[in-house]
Structure formats: structure tokens, C-alpha cells
């Protein structure tokens, strides 16, 4: 068993907000000790999207075995605290993680830390060898959110811009569906785009010339839909799919990059952090690094999409918010700005 020195803390992280069961053990001194992830993608694929009840039931099935696995791997008997995703997300799915965290917290007599899922994404780059220093601009792009956030310090967040309609991940998923790709569509669309010509279609870069830092992706999605219908009518959809995917991806990435760089400059920030599922997009990672004259940080690919490690590290940074186990918190909606500095 690992002996935990008095100054180091061992945090068990639990993520169950949507369709991935993620578990990890993070040590404040030694870093990430073990992590395990179970994706429910196959279960939901036949329905073309996440079915909340199926998600909850699968979290129930997988969570304890995954916790056991990381504990065995790290040779740990019990952690010092348990961090769990308390929102935003599917309430039933959140309740599974929250119930487990609080149950284990009572059994092990250790505190629990409710973590904001998007703060988990935002702090995922802290798991890397060269984490970003504060302040920075965060581009948080996932299936449910597209946000530009000014991060002054841990918990000091100001949302500069957000999506007015579809989140960018959602736009990737819906466009992928139009192109006949499976769920979740983002990674499949990005793969298909590799073989296409990104200049084949001149899709709109939504709101890129407006001063607002908000995003809107429904117009882009509609523009793709119209071209898909046209290609279908003309009997050339099959040969046009890769070009449509590449042109869509280019328009979405151009928008995200232009807005992020503009926001960073306007706020006088020299660092940009890209996080969340769409942060796994290779074109986005490359373009923002090429076009921004400051420093760009992102988590490793595996920690862009949902995982337990980001919840464990966020919990470690929010130890001051630890509470006695016994009260499950689960919130479908939860403002990131309302979090505040830990311990306050």
C-alpha cells in the first residue's frame, strides 16, 4: 500500500454526467496514479443519441468495478477524499456518481467534493507536465457547451461568450448524422474530413465578423443540410461526403479560432487553454497553435473527452470545498461563474 505523507492527499475522481463512466486516482504530490474509463457509445449508437435511463443503468453496472480496478492498480485501500461530478449533466446519471461517492465517503469516513463538470474540463490541462499558469483564456468546447472564459485564477471565471443555439460538439454530431455517420459524430466527421477538400464548399463562419464573443452554429448546420440535400437530389452525395465534412470542419474551426484569438487579445491574455471533447479535434489544435502568437495549452487527447482524471484533479484543487459525505448533489444546470474561489 502507498503510504500517503501528511502533506499529500489522494483523491478518487468519479465522472458520470453523460455517457462515459470515468474513474481516477490523483495524488497531490505524485500526480495521476491510475484511471479507468468505460464508454457507453455502443449502447446509445442504435438510438442515434444518449438515452438517459440507459446511461444511468450502465453507470450503476460499471462504476464499482472501475473503482475497484483503479484502487487495485494503485494499490490503495482508501482515498483521502472523493470528488464526483455534481453537474451539469443528466440528473439520473449524476445521481449514480453522487450516490456512490457519498456512500463510499460514509463507509471510508472521508469527505466528498462536488465538482462542476465544465471546471473539470477547464482544469484537465493541469494534468500535463507543463500546465498553464493563470491568467488564461479558456475555449471550452464540448457536446453541450461552447464557451469563452476569462480565467483569472482558480474559481475566478467570467464567461465572455457562449453559444446562442447549438454547442459546437452538437453541430459536429448533427452534421455527422446528416452525412450518414454514426453517433457520436464528431470524431467520425473529423476522420472523414481528412480525405476531403475543405475548400469545396464555402460555408458561413457564423458571427465571426461581429464584435460579440458569442457563438451560433445553427446557420452553419443549415447551410450544410441544404448542400447535402442538393447533392442527394443530384445523385452525388456519396462522392461529396468527404468534401462536405472537410468544409464544415474548416468553417467551424475558423470560427472558434478567430473568436478565441480576438477574445484573448481584447482581454490582454497571453495564454489560451482549449478543452472539452471538441478540443480533441486535430485541426482545431493545430490552427489555434499556428495562428495565436501567445501560448496554447490543451489536455492530452484522452482527457479532452469526459474522463475521471479531470474530476480527480479538479477535486484536488477544490479540497477547500470538501464536505462531510451524506448529501448527494446533482444539478442539470449549473453556472460556472457561480462557483467562486475554493473555500469561500
Residue 52 interacts with ligand KG4 (CB under 6 A): yes or no? no
Asked if 337 and 174 touch (Cβ cutoff 8 Å), the reply is: no
CB of 159 to ligand KG4, least distance (A): 16
DSSP class of 209? T
CB of 120 to Zn ion, least distance (A): 8
Task: Compute φ and ψ for 291, nearest 5 degrees.
Answer: -95, -20
Site string for ligand KG4, 174-203 (x = CB under 6 A): ----------xxxx--x-------------
Between 171 and 263, name the residue whose CB sits nearer to ligand KG4: 171
Q: Crossing angle, helix 168-178 and helix 237-267, to 10 degrees? A: 170
Residue 13 interacts with ligand KG4 (CB under 6 A): yes or no? no
> Which three cell numbers, joined as nine digits, stand for 129?
507536465
Cα distance between residue 207 and residue 127, in whole Å = 33
Residue 306 interacts with Zn ion (CB under 5 A): yes or no? yes
CB of 336 to ligand KG4, least distance (A): 13
Size of the site for ligand KG4 (CB under 6 A): 19
Q: How far is CA 55 from the centre of its chain?
A: 17
Cα distance between residue 147 and residue 162, in whole Å = 4
Among 21, 40, 85, 142, binds Zn ion (CB under 5 A): 142
Residue 306 interacts with ligand KG4 (CB under 6 A): yes or no? yes
Asked if 105 and 325 touch (Cβ cutoff 8 Å), the reply is: yes
Cα distance between residue 252 and residue 203, in whole Å = 9
Cα distance between residue 282 and residue 166, in whole Å = 21
Site string for Zn ion, 247-286 (x = CB under 5 A): ----------------------------------------
Between 44 and 318, name the residue whose CB sits nearer to ligand KG4: 44
3-class secondary-structure state, position 221: helix
Residue 120 interacts with ligand KG4 (CB under 6 A): yes or no? no
Residue 163 interacts with ligand KG4 (CB under 6 A): yes or no? no
Q: Is 182 left (phi over 0), alpha (psi -120 to 50) or beta?
A: beta
CB of 304 to Zn ion, least distance (A): 9
Residues pairing with 31 in the sheet: 27
Cα distance between residue 293 and residue 256, in whole Å = 16
CB of 155 to ligand KG4, least distance (A): 20
Asked if 312 and 82 touch (Cβ cutoff 8 Å), the reply is: no
CB of 149 to ligand KG4, least distance (A): 15
Between 142 and 260, name the residue whose CB sits nearer to Zn ion: 142
Residue 102 interacts with ligand KG4 (CB under 6 A): yes or no? no
CB of 336 to Zn ion, least distance (A): 13
- The residue ranges that bind Zn ion (CB under 5 A) are 142, 306
- The residue ranges that bind ligand KG4 (CB under 6 A) are 18, 142-144, 169, 172-173, 184-187, 190, 276-278, 280-281, 305-306
Amino acid at each position: 500500500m502507498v503510504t500517503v505523507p501528511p502533506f499529500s492527499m489522494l483523491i478518487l475522481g468519479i465522472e458520470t454526467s453523460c455517457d462515459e463512466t470515468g474513474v481516477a486516482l490523483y495524488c497531490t504530490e505524485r500526480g495521476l496514479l491510475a484511471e479507468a474509463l468505460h464508454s457507453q457509445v455502443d449502447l446509445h449508437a442504435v438510438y442515434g443519441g444518449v438515452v438517459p435511463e440507459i446511461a444511468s443503468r450502465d453507470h450503476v453496472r460499471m462504476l464499482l468495478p472501475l473503482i475497484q480496478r483503479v484502487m487495485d492498480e494503485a494499490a490503495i485501500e482508501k482515498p483521502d477524499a472523493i470528488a464526483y461530478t455534481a453537474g451539469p449533466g443528466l440528473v439520473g446519471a449524476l445521481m449514480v456518481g453522487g450516490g456512490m461517492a457519498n456512500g463510499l465517503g460514509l463507509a471510508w469516513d472521508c469527505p466528498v467534493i462536488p465538482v462542476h463538470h465544465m471546471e473539470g474540463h477547464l482544469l484537465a490541462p493541469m494534468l500535463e507536465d507543463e500546465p498553464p499558469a493563470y491568467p488564461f483564456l479558456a475555449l471550452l468546447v464540448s457536446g453541450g457547451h461552447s464557451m469563452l472564459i476569462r480565467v483569472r485564477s482558480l474559481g475566478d471565471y467570467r464567461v465572455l461568450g457562449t453559444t446562442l443555439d447549438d454547442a459546437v460538439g452538437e453541430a459536429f454530431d448533427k452534421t455527422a448524422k446528416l452525412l450518414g455517420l454514426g453517433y457520436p459524430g464528431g470524431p467520425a466527421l473529423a476522420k472523414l474530413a481528412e480525405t476531403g477538400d475543405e475548400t469545396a464548399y464555402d460555408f458561413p463562419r457564423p458571427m465571426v465578423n461581429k464584435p460579440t464573443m458569442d457563438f451560433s452554429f445553427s446557420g452553419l448546420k443549415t447551410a450544410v443540410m441544404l448542400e447535402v440535400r442538393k447533392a442527394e437530389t443530384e445523385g452525388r452525395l456519396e462522392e461529396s461526403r468527404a468534401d462536405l465534412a472537410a468544409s464544415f470542419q474548416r468553417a467551424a474551426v475558423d470560427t472558434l479560432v478567430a473568436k478565441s484569438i480576438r477574445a484573448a487579445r481584447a482581454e490582454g491574455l497571453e495564454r489560451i487553454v482549449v478543452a472539452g471533447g471538441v478540443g480533441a479535434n486535430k485541426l482545431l489544435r493545430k490552427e489555434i497553435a499556428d495562428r495565436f502568437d501567445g501560448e496554447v495549452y490543451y489536455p492530452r487527447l484522452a482527457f479532452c473527452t469526459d474522463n475521471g482524471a479531470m474530476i480527480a484533479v479538479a477535486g484536488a484543487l477544490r479540497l477547500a470545498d470538501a464536505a462531510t459525505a451524506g448529501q448527494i448533489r446533482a444539478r442539470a444546470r449549473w453556472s460556472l461563474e457561480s462557483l467562486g474561489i475554493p473555500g469561500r
